[in-house]
Structure 1
Amino acid sequence: MNKLLIAATVTALGLTTASARDRTAVPEATLDGKPVSCVRTTDVRSTSVHGDSVIDFHMNGGKVYRNTLPMSCPGLGFEERFLHKSSIGEYCSVDIITVLQSPGLTPGVSCGLGKFQPVKLVKVAAR
C-alpha cells in the first residue's frame, strides 16, 4: 500500500492585525507565462491567502503562481490556512484543499483548486 504524503500548508500571519488590512485584497500582479496544472509541493516556499478564492504560491527561486479557485471557499480568507493531501507530491488543479479552523486546526470546508498562473507581483511603494 502506498504511503500517503500529506503536505499541510499553514500560512503564517504577519504582525499586521486583521483590522489594519483588507483580507480580501488581492495584490496586483502581471501575467508571467502560461498556466500550469500542477506545482511540486517541495518547491513551495510559502503561500499567501487572499480572501476566499485566491492563493499565491511563492516558490523557491522567487517565482509566484496565483491560484484562483473555481468557486469561493468559505472561511479560507478568514483562517488563511489550509490542508492539502497528495500521494504524488504536487498541488494540482484537480486537487481539494481543506480550510483549517481555529481552535485546534479543526478541518472545515473543502474546496477545489484551479490552474496555477505564473505572475509577477507588482511592487508597492512604501509609505
Structure 2
Amino acid sequence: MLAGVAGAAAPAATSKDPLAGRIAGAAVDCVDQSQLGGPDIVDNRTILYRQSLKRIWRNDLPAACPGLRPQTLLVVEIWGSRLCSNDRFQARDRDTIIPGPYCRLGKFTPYDLPGK
C-alpha cells in the first residue's frame, strides 16, 4: 500500500465549468495515477483529475464525503500505480492534522474535447 497526499492548487468551483464543451465517454473503474494532475475538488461528491489538455477525468463519489471541499488535502491509499473505484481516501483541512472520515472513490468518467 502506498499513501499519497494531494491537494487542489486552486478551487475548481469557478464561474467557468471546466467540463463545458467536452464529451463524456464511458466510465471506467481505474486510471493510471502517474498521468494525472490534480485533484481539483468541485464539491463533497465530485473530484476532477486533468490528464492532458484534451482529457479530464471526473470522479463521482458513491456517497458524499464529509469535509471534502475545495482547498482540502486528499490522503489517498493507492494500491499499485492506478487509482480505482472503491480506493479509500481522507479529506484533511490544511490547518489541522486531524484526518476526516474515510471516503471511497467512484468510477472515472473521461471528458474529452471534440475534434483532433
Q: Taking structure 1 as the reference length, what is the TM-score of the superposition?
A: 0.72
RMSD: 2.6
1:88 is displaced (CA, Å) by: 0.8
C-alpha spacing 1:58/1:95, structure 2 compared with 1 (3 Å): same
Residue 11 (str. 1) matches residue 8 (str. 2):
yes
Q: Structure 2: which 5+ runs fail to align? A: none
C-alpha spacing 1:103/1:80, structure 2 compared with 1 (3 Å): closer
Residue 41 (str. 1) matches residue 6 (str. 2):
no
1:86 to 78, 89, 104: 78
- Distance in 2 between residues matched to 1:26 and 1:85, nearest whole Å: 28
- Distance in 2 between residues matched to 1:45 and 1:78, nearest whole Å: 15
- The 8 Å contact of residues 42 and 89 in structure 1, kept in 2 or not, is answered as yes
Aligned pairs, how many?
A: 111
After superposing the two structures, state which structure 1 stretch, 98-107 or 112-121, moved more.
Answer: 98-107
- Distance in 2 between residues matched to 1:106 and 1:26, nearest whole Å: 31
C-alpha spacing 1:50/1:68, structure 2 compared with 1 (3 Å): same
1:56 is displaced (CA, Å) by: 0.6
2:92 corresponding residue in structure 1: 100
1:58 to 27, 47, 50: 50
C-alpha spacing 1:105/1:43, structure 2 compared with 1 (3 Å): farther
1:68 is displaced (CA, Å) by: 0.7
Which entry has the higher C-alpha Rg, 1 or 2? 1
- The 8 Å contact of residues 79 and 99 in structure 1, kept in 2 or not, is answered as no
Which structure is higher in helix share? Answer: 1
1:114 corresponding residue in structure 2: 106
